[in-house]
Amino acid sequence: MKQESLHLNVNGLHLQVQSVGQGPAVVLLHGFPDTHVVWRKQIAPLVAAGFRVLAPDLRGYGGSDAPLAVDAYRLEHVRADILAMLDALGIERARVVGHDWGAVVGWLLCMAAPERIEQYVALSVGHPAAVARAGLLQYLRSSYMMWFLLPGLAERSLLAGDCYVMGRFTSDRALVAHWKRSFREPGRMTAALNYFRANVPRGIVFSKKHEPVRVPVMGVWSSLDPALGETQMRDSSSYVADSFRFERIEGADHWLQVTAAERVNALLLDFFAQAPHSAAPISSL
């Protein structure tokens, strides 16, 4: 299985994208504090099933540019990065899988450009309107975001003691080790936190004003996720005008694509097999 690192100039910045396989495109969008590496357990099964996997490092992460301005991390810019990536690669339609901030970007892609999205899989994070209406407990779960909005203090606390706090996020030691390596480069932790600073105060996460989604969606939630409750994912069905499928994974933490990889992979392949165009390649590139 040959993995190629593509270096694309899109939407005014350099984007590094891992491309593996041939066939219909599946775009994997990571969140905080990850890079494309968080998808390492999904790539081979998807390629073996006949898909071309595209796993970008979102702006601010990994091998992609990290703009200095906080506003550069507004999600409309990140969404535009992904659409520009598809354009640069000549891909008309793609399946999309998003996790954490990548899931929010995925929801926004479905709203803004449903004609480009074959199917969408949201891991952990439901439709923004469902998150907004999930009640007091969800707001309490999300209160850590207020800490992340504090310039300097958030960076110091997350990096202190060899990233001790981050080491408690997940049981997967390999993932934690990757985070530590990723944030050794000066400014990268600030870039990652700028997703919160550019979007949370603007209400992008807790917003009841978003449009319904006219794309087939599967929402997957894990029972040990401390930041996101089941209600916000289940209730996303109310904001999907096409079909919506909910799946619950027991015993997995927030990083379910790593800690429950076999279950997640089986769900992805089963869901993708239901696409009306699944028999035909989306792109020959």
Confidence of residue 209 (pLDDT cuts 50, 70, 90): confident
Local structure of 266: helix, strand or coil: helix
Integer Cα distance of 277 and 265 in angstroms: 20
Give me the pLDDT at residue 16, please: 98
| pLDDT tens by residue, 211-255 | 889 999 999 999 999 999 999 999 999 999 999 999 999 999 999
Alpha-carbon dihedral 238, 229, 216, 263, rounded to 10 degrees? -150
Integer angstrom CA distances of residue 219 from 11, 54, 201, 245, 269: 29, 20, 25, 6, 14
Give me the pLDDT at residue 192, please: 98
CATH superfamily for domain 3-272: Alpha/Beta hydrolase fold, catalytic domain (3.40.50.1820)
Integer Cα distance of 234 and 219 in angstroms: 8
Residues in the chain: 285
Confidence of residue 207 (pLDDT cuts 50, 70, 90): low
Question: Is 120 a residue whose pLDDT tops 50?
Answer: yes
Confidence of residue 134 (pLDDT cuts 50, 70, 90): very high
Residues 6+ positions from 209 with CB-CB distance below 8 Å: 129
Question: Is 144 a residue whose pLDDT tops 50?
Answer: yes
Integer Cα distance of 84 and 59 in angstroms: 13
Q: Hey, which bits of 223-280 come out as E strands?
A: 244-249
Mean per-residue pLDDT of the chain: 94
Give me the pLDDT at residue 278, please: 43
| pLDDT tens by residue, 169-200 | 999 999 999 999 999 999 999 999 999 999 99
**Percent of the chain at pLDDT above 70?**
95
Question: Is 285 a residue whose pLDDT tops 80?
Answer: no
Strand partners, 180: none
The 3-state DSSP composition of the chain as helix, strand, coil percent (nearest 5) reads 45, 20, 40
| pLDDT tens by residue, 243-281 | 999 999 999 999 999 999 999 999 999 999 997 654 333
Domain boundaries along the sequence of the chain: 3-272
Q: Is residue 253 within 8 Å of 224, Cβ to Cβ?
A: yes
Task: Indicate the residue type of 178.
Answer: H
